[in-house]
Amino acid sequence: MKRWIGFISPLVMIFVLASFDADSASEDVRVPESLVVTESEPFSYPEQEVSIPALYPRIPYAGTSFIGFREALAFKESGGDYFTTNTLGYLGKYQFGIGTLQLMGVYNATKFLETPELQEKAFATNLARNKWILRRDIPRFVGKRINGVEVTESGILAAAHLAGAGNVKKYLRSWGSMDVVDAYGTSITYYLRKFKGYDMSEILAEQNPKVLF
């Protein structure tokens, strides 16, 4: 009897294991929908494109568009915060001085700081104003290299936001010898490099534009 049990026991064990494997194999194994990779997510910086698998968090696609320029500059200026004022009194997402705002017809600093839509209009208006002031210098210098940096329209306009269009004009016409550094140590050359290569075609040069709000 013991010999018979010793012979049967391994067979029973094999049968049980085989049944378990068969049951497991018959079940559908489903990957959670959120982890299924179906496509690549495009993500660009100026002059550079990479592909990020779709299982990673989705990243807004702004690339070299005007929106990309606007948000990159805002992040550098204020971290994108509409309601901040820096230690020198510059206001909002794009860190405007009250003197520049007054040139565009904005006199109420409190209202400006509390109104994101007004800040966006002021930003676009100031770009149009700077583009008019630099209308002769942009075609003359775009594509040239100054202080090792390729000059682009977006770099020029970003530098004008930093230092004023007049200072950028002096910088370009002196081939970089008259650089300007702000109170935090940021130079025209740095902004020319950091913000080069964006598409600024939707900004039209305008003489003495005013913010309509």
Say what the pLDDT of residue 62 is.
62
* Ramachandran angles phi, psi of 29, nearest 5°: -95, 115
Name every residue whose Cβ is closer than 8 Å to that of residue 157 and which is 6 or more positions away in sequence. Answer: 127, 130, 131, 134, 195, 200, 203
Say what the pLDDT of residue 53 is.
37
pTM of the model: 0.72
Q: Model confidence over 138-169: pLDDT tens digits?
A: 999 999 999 999 999 999 999 999 999 999 99
Say what the pLDDT of residue 59 is.
40
CB atoms within 10 A of CB 106: 23
Which residue's structure tokens are 């020319």? 192
Say what the pLDDT of residue 38 is.
52
Residue 57 in this model has a pLDDT that exceeds 80: no
How high does pLDDT run on average in the chain?
Answer: 82
| Band of residue 58 on the pLDDT scale cut at 50, 70, 90 | very low
Residue 47 in this model has a pLDDT that exceeds 80: no
Can you tell me the mean pLDDT for 17-45? Answer: 46
Residue 194 in this model has a pLDDT that exceeds 50: yes
Say what the pLDDT of residue 213 is.
80
Can you tell me the mean pLDDT for 58-77? Answer: 83
Longest Cα–Cα distance of the chain, Å, equals 109
Q: Which three-class secondary structure string do you get for 145-193?
A: EECCEECCHHHHHHHHHHHCHHHHHHHHHCCCCCCCECCCCCEHHHHHH
Can you tell me the mean pLDDT for 191-204? Answer: 97
Residue 76 in this model has a pLDDT that exceeds 60: yes
Name every residue whose Cβ is closer than 8 Å to that of residue 139 and which is 6 or more positions away in sequence. Answer: none
Given a contact cutoff of 8 angstroms between Cβ atoms, the answer to whether 195 and 149 are in contact is no
